[in-house]
Amino acid sequence: MKMTGAELIIRLLERQGITTVAGIPGGAILPLYDALGASTQIRHVLTRHEQGAGFIAQGMARASGQAAVCLASSGPGATNLITAIADARLDSIPVVCITGQVPSAMIGTDAFQEVDTYGLTVPITKHNFLVDSVEELLDVVPRAFRIALSGRPGPVLIDVPKDIQNATIEFDEWPQPGCAEPAPQPADTALAAALALIAQAQRPILYLGGGVVHAGAAPLARELAETAGLPTVMTLMALGTLPETHLLQLGMLGMHGARCTNLALAECDLLIAVGARFDDRATGKVAEFCPNAAIVHIDIDASELDKIKTAHVALNGDVREVLGRLLPRLGAQADRRAWLARIGELKRDFPLKLDGRHNPRHHYGLIRATARAAGPAAIVTTDVGQHQMWAAQAYPLDRPRQWLTSGGLGTMGFGLPAAIGAALAEPQRPVVCFSGDGSILMNIQELATLAEEDLDVKIVLFNNGALGLVHQQQTLFYGGRLNASVFRGQPDFVRLAQAFGIRTIDLDAEPDVPDALAAAFAERGPCLIHATIGLEEKVYPMVPPGAANTDMIGG
């Protein structure tokens, strides 16, 4: 076979099963775009900013569990991708980014649109490549997918100089597509030690993290909770792995978790952490997190074990495989009636207070009413801020990959492009994007992409005229000095969306919110739903940054 480097990359992407890529062309990646134009398998989604392309790829990957691809040119194209790559790294999302680079002979000369993409992306990728020969592509492209998907998933970047895209290669055999490698298997003795700790525990809690979603282990985690009778908490990344209505679930832990959840954790004698990394937003002050608990920690990433909390039993492996080995060996469990009664008591006395949840003009009520209008099939994305935490607390999530949010990096601007990506990956499902007036403007240009692609994305815009979570922290912890958190001017978001060619509904002007939402969702295609939210509303409860989780304010 004989072809150019650019054609080779496209064929290799096709062989990986890629059908949609997002990106923006530019000088240094034009050969690749020329080859992409000839592909009958791969559809290109033209975004309006490379960060949008990065988050669209993330939305596809988060919704499907498959690796997704984004493209950018050299220089500013590559630097614009960086936030989306760093976000994928912190939330362990398999994304393969392909960037154009100036021709090999010009690297290091400060050529037009030259930047050290390789150097810039070292700390934010799982691995990265600067390709130095066309032959290398045969190895690098499948390897990039293998690395992105193996072990703990993550982003991989391939930087391809323009001359290598144009170079010709002759080869005899296609390489195998890259796929996930087998995970490490913890020893039977370690499994036995974990089983013994679980069986003996008087007051155990199961702590589920995003790794449960990545591993496809939600049904097994549920089986473990039910078989062993384990009250279960979830991180922001794991929401949906146990349905909101499940009797054993205690919802989200940490900074904005319910009082009953954080108080239960403080009393537990065994914490079974599954695909979770003891993030500071989840643990609060670590020394006071589950102070009396032994810890069983199951994670595919060995460097997460003992990182924050030393585990009594550490099981390094794929959480689905490890749970699959543990479940058939769960023996008789200690009598947990007293513990479950205590959990019931905590839930009764310190529940999550969703004040106003029956009033659709109130933030919690609007989230609940949106969920009813969107239906159970909907995928939910969020931006970052108060609306994100309110949605995490109040949206009735009931399956993994239903909830797509920027957990680790906390990137404002994530919601809209991630929703576009989710809609591309799962076109049969409606997608709801909860956003705020601060976040939406950070990637507002992707409304043009959304209109062009005509995807079934409904944006619910919580407008309080401020950076709400900053405003909240300044109010609570900085003596009410509101510096730079309230917008002095603001666009008319309804007319702005209309200018992009997007249907709008302004709930402020609607006499019946549920009816208006039902009408919005009844019609397929994009729609921006605007609602004014009171600036005085807070996310409660709240653990002050650096405090113990038992020191909650409000709620």
Partner 1 sequence: MNATRTVPAALAVLELTVNNHPGVMSHVCGLFARRACNVEGIICLPLGDGARSRIWLQVPDTDKLEPMTRQARKLEDVLEVIRHPDGHPVFAQLGAAVG
**Closest distance between partner 1 and the C-beta of residue 92, in Å?**
13
Nearer to partner 1, 111 or 302 (CB): 302
**Closest distance between partner 1 and the C-beta of residue 164, in Å?**
15
Nearer to partner 1, 47 or 121 (CB): 121
Nearer to partner 1, 126 or 538 (CB): 126
**Closest distance between partner 1 and the C-beta of residue 181, in Å?**
12
Task: Identify the residue among 118, 289, 350, 462 touching partner 1 (CB under 8 A).
Answer: 118
60 CA to centre of own chain: 11
Q: How far apart (Å, rounded) are the C-alpha atoms in residues 23 and 57? A: 9
Nearer to partner 1, 154 or 251 (CB): 154
**Closest distance between partner 1 and the C-beta of residue 306, in Å?**
8
Q: How far apart (Å, rounded) are the C-alpha atoms in residues 96 and 50? A: 14
Give the residue among 487, 401, 473 at the shortest CA–CA distance from 436.
487
**Closest distance between partner 1 and the C-beta of residue 155, in Å?**
13
State which of positions 322-381 bind partner 1 (CB under 8 A): none
Task: Identify the residue among 105, 122, 247, 377 touching partner 1 (CB under 8 A).
Answer: 122
Placement of tokens 């392309």 in the chain:
53
- The piece of 118-126, 175-183, 273-281, 485-493 that touches partner 1 (CB under 8 A) is 118-126
**Closest distance between partner 1 and the C-beta of residue 308, in Å?**
10
Cα Rg, the chain, nearest whole Å: 24
Interior CA angle at 262 toward 261 and 265, to 5°?
Answer: 90
- The piece of 117-125, 348-356, 371-379, 533-541 that touches partner 1 (CB under 8 A) is 117-125
**Closest distance between partner 1 and the C-beta of residue 418, in Å?**
26
**Closest distance between partner 1 and the C-beta of residue 116, in Å?**
10
Nearer to partner 1, 200 or 303 (CB): 303
Name residue 466's beta-bridge partners: 486
| 462: phi then psi, degrees, rounded to nearest 5 | -85, 110
Nearer to partner 1, 143 or 342 (CB): 143
Nearer to partner 1, 104 or 359 (CB): 104
Size of the site for partner 1 (CB under 8 A): 15
Give the residue among 424, 427, 422 at the shortest CA–CA distance from 402.
422
State which of positions 128-157 bind partner 1 (CB under 8 A): 128-130, 147
**Closest distance between partner 1 and the C-beta of residue 151, in Å?**
8
Question: Which two tokens mark 156?
Answer: 């991989």
Q: How far apart (Å, rounded) are the C-alpha atoms in residues 376 and 434? A: 16
Which residues, including other chains, have CB under 8 Å from residue 337's CB and lie 6 or more apart? none
- The piece of 120-128, 195-203, 326-334, 420-428 that touches partner 1 (CB under 8 A) is 120-128
Q: Is residue 34 a contact partner of residue 42, using CB atoms and an 8 Å limit?
A: no
Give the residue among 266, 259, 254 at the shortest CA–CA distance from 209.
254
Task: Give the DSSP letter string of 204-265.
Answer: EEEEE-HHHHHTT-HHHHHHHHHHHT--EEE-GGGTTSS-TT-TTEEEE-STTS-HHHHHHH
Nearer to partner 1, 123 or 479 (CB): 123
Nearer to partner 1, 226 or 301 (CB): 301
Interior CA angle at 417 toward 412 and 418, to 5°?
Answer: 85
The site string for partner 1 over 440-469 (x = CB under 8 A, - otherwise) reads ------------------------------
Nearer to partner 1, 53 or 88 (CB): 88
Task: Give the DSSP letter string of 175-186.
Answer: PPPP-PPPPP--
**Closest distance between partner 1 and the C-beta of residue 126, in Å?**
8
Task: Identify the residue among 2, 40, 110, 123 touching partner 1 (CB under 8 A).
Answer: 123
Question: Which two tokens mark 511?
Answer: 């006499």
Nearer to partner 1, 69 or 156 (CB): 156
Q: Is residue 229 a contact partner of residue 311, using CB atoms and an 8 Å limit?
A: no
Contact status: 501 vs partner 1 (CB under 8 A) = no
Torsion of CA 18, 23, 25, 31, to 10 degrees: -20
Q: Is residue 199 a contact partner of residue 37, using CB atoms and an 8 Å limit?
A: no
**Phi/psi class of residue 192: alpha, beta or left (left: φ > 0; alpha: ψ in -120 to 50)?**
alpha
State which of positions 242-261 bind partner 1 (CB under 8 A): none
**Closest distance between partner 1 and the C-beta of residue 528, in Å?**
40
Q: How far apart (Å, rounded) are the C-alpha atoms in residues 300 and 321? A: 10
- The piece of 127-135, 204-212, 338-346, 486-494 that touches partner 1 (CB under 8 A) is 127-135
**Closest distance between partner 1 and the C-beta of residue 123, in Å?**
6
Nearer to partner 1, 122 or 327 (CB): 122
**Closest distance between partner 1 and the C-beta of residue 290, in Å?**
20
- The piece of 12-20, 116-124, 207-215, 440-448 that touches partner 1 (CB under 8 A) is 116-124
The site string for partner 1 over 282-321 (x = CB under 8 A, - otherwise) reads -------------------xxx--xx--------------
Placement of tokens 């760093």 in the chain:
86
Nearer to partner 1, 147 or 394 (CB): 147
**Closest distance between partner 1 and the C-beta of residue 302, in Å?**
6
Whole-angstrom CA distances from 376 to 362, 368, 438, 492 are: 21, 12, 28, 31
Whole-angstrom CA distances from 420 to 379, 395, 423 are: 11, 20, 5
Q: How far apart (Å, rounded) are the C-alpha atoms in residues 65 and 401? A: 8
Give the residue among 133, 134, 139, 130 at the shortest CA–CA distance from 169.
134
Nearer to partner 1, 144 or 528 (CB): 144
Task: Identify the residue among 15, 127, 246, 361 touching partner 1 (CB under 8 A).
Answer: 127
Binding stretches for partner 1 (CB under 8 A):
118-119, 122-123, 126-130, 147, 301-303, 306-307
